[in-house]
Chain A
Amino acid sequence: MADGNVVMARGMPAAVAPPQKGTLHRIARRRSTLAFLMTLPLLAVIGGLVAYPFFYALYLSMLNKRMTRFVGIDNFTFLLSRETFQAVIWQSVLFAVSAVIAKALIGFILAHVLHALPAKGQRKWRGMLLVPWVIPPAVSTLAWWWMFDPSYSAINWVLTTVGVPPVAWLGEPSWARFSVILVNVWYGAPFFMIMYLAALKSVPDQLYEAAAIDGATGWQKLRYVTVPMMKNIIAITVLFSLIVTFANFDIVRILTNGGPQDKTHIFGTYAFQVGIQSGDIPLGSAVSLFMFPILAVFAIFVLRDVTRRNKEMTG
């Protein structure tokens, strides 16, 4: 049996021979089957918590208000014809784009400042700067809400003491837009900071040394070494943040509830108002699904660039 072959003794009945392995057994022993089984929990989670809600929302968005009749894309065309919803699209884009740009810039600057700090004190500052991101936004937004209060808040108290008239932060449309974006930036900038800091730390020092030997200035090092090396992480972070910011709900809901005059409504808050509060769940679903194509197109472009850059780097 040294060679592994089974030699059957002469005269031994066939029934005693080891059984032939079945197809099922062979499939079960395949590595791909094992891999499939091991990813099954993940597939179940994605199916149950991502795919099913998405397709269910899609289904709901194609029903009439009473959810008794299929109406195709009527809810979507109806929404596009409404002045209020057109404003919601514009405001969502304004909110998300301006907040993400501000967060990216602040995060970039903070990451560089932190990176330049001596290693000893860096951890302390890093921890402190992460605090806004760690506090649940529902809680921190309530604190901001108090600070924006026109009559009793610290901000207006300070303004009044220096002779500036108090500002209706959440009562004037332009100030209200500024306020909700500000709180979103305050909450989200630490995320950018920590991602960029990690990216900065992964840039090899030799590149800077080589640049210094070539006589590069600080600005040139940033432009020709740091930024190119961080491009992928910048793209991924911006994409991720844009998705999260577009889908924001709590900050606007707590601070302004979409007002005044609907000037701060974004997709999430408007979907809630239409779907849950007004009892029109199909229309609410349609509102929330409007985010999908916008973000999908953006994601395709960003991820394509990331893949291209990766290929260039490895090739």
Chain B
Amino acid sequence: MAGNGMTRRGMLRAGVAGVAASALPLVNVHGQSSGGRLALGFWDHWVGAPANDVMRAIVNEWGQKNRVEVTLDFITSAGNKTLLTIAAEAQARQGHDILSFPTWQVHDHQDLLEPVDDVMGRLIQKYGAVNQASEYLAKIGGRWLAIPETAGSQFKGPAARIDLLKQHAGIDVQAMYPAENRLGPGADQWNWETFLQAAQKCSAAGYPFALPAGTTSDATDWIGAMFRSFGADLVDAKGNITIRNNDKVRQAMEYSKRLFEFIPSEMFAADDATNNRAMISGKSALIFNPPSAWAVAKRDAPDVARNMWHFPSPSGPAGRPVPFLPFFYGIWKFGRNKSAAKALLEHLSQTEQVQRLVEASSGYDIPPFNSVFDDIDTWRKVEPPLGTVYNYPVRAHHNAVPNVAYAPAPPEIAVQMYTQGIQAKMIARMVQGKEPIDRVLAWAETEVEGFKRG
């Protein structure tokens, strides 16, 4: 080492320092640490820097004001990194104080999560009730174990081409769901039968609906909402299997058979990007998706974006469920600074912060409290076309309900049906595998029986 003037020991030190520096979290917010330390692991927003920067700024401000030294990591959901992080920290009983928990993870780790009834009590008192889907996922045994999060929570109603639906199916979605708190002409007829006719006409015109039927969440969510709209629950709230001898399940299956005649066969192997690509490339008239496809189209295919409109799902005999996928803030019981964690999460849930998060995500993020929807003008302002995402959040006049696929089954059963995409597989077996419906129902019942083991 004489040549470069660096000793071996010095090199080792530098190496260790380098490794330590590279292992540092993406963001370190240092303040006076009299309020202790907090380690946060939040979802790395698909919008990227604009949304993450706002979250960082909010946390930073709070940390400095409350003299809490905060470390903030953004954890990507790509490659299931979020799930792996949660599983690893749960096993090791150490890690962050607060993590973002995707849909089912609160139930999976309920024994390790700090109850947050005090925080939720104050938030509910201030902003009103939380939507039922979030309650189903985060309130366990009468206790709130996580706080519904704005960042990442999303609806997945139809995102459709205004021009193509008008031209080929005779449906004016802009008129049906205008960017104001009222329903337009045709909204009362927006049901699964109308949907099927539109699918048929658009398919004939060369713009088939890109409806995935694989096992990823986009497929599971829209199919789950469709089944629910028929009242076709595979398992009821008490955990009883209700598949065979259930006319509603049979009805949903028969409807699916008719619908999938007009859906491209490759959708059985689609992932969460397939439908987006179909829409952005201009080859599809309708997908079920949050405004992420629209946002990418705005950048890459402006002609497509300016013709897109977001609105609630069709209704069925049992109502109008809209696919919903919420995130939650959870505090580990083994966290070191629970009081500061609760204070921060309460701060993040206030309207002022929520507004900033929704704005940063161009309206993608959905707050858990419907009462704040009208206070947030992001959804009114986003364009083109102006108001495209106004009806993206489920509003009171939609007569719709946020729906988590496989609810109201007990979540420990529902999560397994969800991740294994049982409903999508039922459809695939029937449509693609050409299995008789009775055999498919028998198969599904056997599978779900297996999920009931404790």
List B407-437 residues whose CB lies under 8 Å from chain A.
412, 415-416, 419-421, 425, 428-429, 432-433
Q: Is the interface of A mostly helix, strand, loop or mixed?
A: loop
A260 within 8 A of B: yes
- Closest-by-CB residue of B relative to A84 is B447
A70 to chain B, nearest CB (A): 13
Taking a contact as CB atoms under 8 Å apart, the answer to whether B429 and A261 are in contact is yes
List, in ascending order, chain A residues with CB within 8 A of B270's CB.
Answer: 171
Q: Which of A82, A168, A257 contacts B216 (CB 8 A)?
A: A257
Taking a contact as CB atoms under 8 Å apart, the answer to whether B80 and A259 are in contact is no
Q: Which of B267, B278, B447, B454 contacts A64 (CB 8 A)?
A: B454
Taking a contact as CB atoms under 8 Å apart, the answer to whether A260 and B432 are in contact is yes
Q: Report the stretch among A18-26, A188-196, A275-283 that lies at the interface.
A: A275-283
List, in ascending order, chain A residues with CB within 8 A of B412's CB.
Answer: 65
Taking a contact as CB atoms under 8 Å apart, the answer to whether B80 and A261 are in contact is no
Q: Which of B216, B264, B443 contacts A150 (CB 8 A)?
A: B264
B276 to chain A, nearest CB (A): 13
Taking a contact as CB atoms under 8 Å apart, the answer to whether B416 and A258 are in contact is no
Q: Which of B105, B266, B278, B281 contacts A168 (CB 8 A)?
A: B266
Taking a contact as CB atoms under 8 Å apart, the answer to whether A171 and B268 are in contact is yes
List A149-196 residues whose CB lies under 8 Å from chain B.
150-152, 168, 170-173, 176
List, in ascending order, chain A residues with CB within 8 A of B83's CB.
Answer: 276-277
- Closest-by-CB residue of B relative to A56 is B91
B218 to chain A, nearest CB (A): 12
> Cα distance A172–B265 when bound, in Å?
8
Taking a contact as CB atoms under 8 Å apart, the answer to whether B215 and A258 are in contact is yes
- Closest-by-CB residue of A relative to B267 is A171
A248 within 8 A of B: no
B79 to chain A, nearest CB (A): 9
Taking a contact as CB atoms under 8 Å apart, the answer to whether B447 and A168 are in contact is no
List, in ascending order, chain A residues with CB within 8 A of B416's CB.
Answer: 278-280
A78 within 8 A of B: yes
A168 to chain B, nearest CB (A): 4
Q: Which of A82, A168, A262, A273 contacts B265 (CB 8 A)?
A: A168
Taking a contact as CB atoms under 8 Å apart, the answer to whether B428 and A278 are in contact is no
A92 within 8 A of B: no
A120 within 8 A of B: no
List, in ascending order, chain A residues with CB within 8 A of B80's CB.
Answer: 272, 276-277
> Cα distance A200–B271 when bound, in Å?
45
- Closest-by-CB residue of B relative to A275 is B87
> Cα distance A171–B433 when bound, in Å?
12
B53 within 8 A of A: no
- Closest-by-CB residue of B relative to A65 is B454
Taking a contact as CB atoms under 8 Å apart, the answer to whether A171 and B265 are in contact is yes
List B200-235 residues whose CB lies under 8 Å from chain A.
214-216
Taking a contact as CB atoms under 8 Å apart, the answer to whether B269 and A152 are in contact is no
Taking a contact as CB atoms under 8 Å apart, the answer to whether A279 and B105 are in contact is yes
| Interface mask (B266-287 → A, CB under 8 Å = 1, otherwise 0) | 1111110000011001010000
- Closest-by-CB residue of A relative to B213 is A260
Taking a contact as CB atoms under 8 Å apart, the answer to whether B269 and A256 are in contact is yes
List A128-152 residues whose CB lies under 8 Å from chain B.
150-152
Q: Which of A171, A259, A276 contacts B87 (CB 8 A)?
A: A276
A89 to chain B, nearest CB (A): 16
B350 within 8 A of A: no
| Interface mask (A63-99 → B, CB under 8 Å = 1, otherwise 0) | 0111000000000001000111000000000000000
| Interface mask (A4-32 → B, CB under 8 Å = 1, otherwise 0) | 00000000000000000000000000000
B446 within 8 A of A: yes
List, in ascending order, chain A residues with CB within 8 A of B419's CB.
Answer: 273, 277-278
Taking residues whose C-beta sits less than 8 angstroms from the other chain, chain A's interface range is 20 to 34
B104 within 8 A of A: yes
List, in ascending order, chain A residues with CB within 8 A of B111's CB.
Answer: 66
Taking a contact as CB atoms under 8 Å apart, the answer to whether A279 and B215 are in contact is no
List, in ascending order, chain B residues with CB within 8 A of A279's CB.
Answer: 104-105, 107-108, 415-416
List B66-104 residues whose CB lies under 8 Å from chain A.
80, 83-84, 87, 104
B450 within 8 A of A: yes
Taking a contact as CB atoms under 8 Å apart, the answer to whether A261 and B433 are in contact is yes
B9 within 8 A of A: no
B149 to chain A, nearest CB (A): 19
List, in ascending order, chain A residues with CB within 8 A of B84's CB.
Answer: 276
- Closest-by-CB residue of B relative to A138 is B79
For B268, B269, B416, which residue has the most chain A Cβ atoms within 10 angstroms?
B269
Q: Which of B264, B420, B443 contacts A273 (CB 8 A)?
A: B420
Taking a contact as CB atoms under 8 Å apart, the answer to whether A78 and B450 are in contact is yes
> Cα distance A311–B214 when bound, in Å?
53
Taking a contact as CB atoms under 8 Å apart, the answer to whether B269 and A171 are in contact is yes
Taking a contact as CB atoms under 8 Å apart, the answer to whether B266 and A176 are in contact is no
List, in ascending order, chain A residues with CB within 8 A of B264's CB.
Answer: 150-151, 168
B223 to chain A, nearest CB (A): 14
List, in ascending order, chain B residues with CB within 8 A of A83's CB.
Answer: 443, 446-447
List, in ascending order, chain A residues with CB within 8 A of B447's CB.
Answer: 82-84
List, in ascending order, chain B residues with CB within 8 A of A262's CB.
Answer: 425
Q: Which of A66, A150, A171, A278 contacts B454 (CB 8 A)?
A: A66
A243 to chain B, nearest CB (A): 24
Taking a contact as CB atoms under 8 Å apart, the answer to whether B266 and A261 are in contact is no
> Cα distance A150–B270 when bound, in Å?
10
For A258, A273, A278, which residue has the most chain B Cβ atoms within 10 angstroms?
A278
Given the known inter-chain contacts A261-B428, A277-B80, please indicate yes or no for A150 contacting B266, CB distance below 8 A.
Answer: yes
> Cα distance A65–B278 when bound, in Å?
39
> Cα distance A84–B432 when bound, in Å?
17
Q: Which of B271, B421, B428, B453 contacts A78 (CB 8 A)?
A: B453
Q: Which of B283, B420, B425, B443 contacts A278 (CB 8 A)?
A: B420
Can you report 21 residue pairs joining A to B where beta carbons are below 8 Å apart? A64-B453, A65-B412, A66-B454, A82-B450, A83-B447, A150-B266, A151-B264, A168-B264, A168-B265, A168-B269, A171-B267, A171-B269, A173-B432, A259-B214, A260-B428, A261-B268, A261-B425, A261-B432, A276-B84, A277-B83, A278-B419
The 6 closest A-B pairs by CB, nearest first: A279-B108, A171-B266, A150-B266, A171-B269, A170-B269, A277-B419
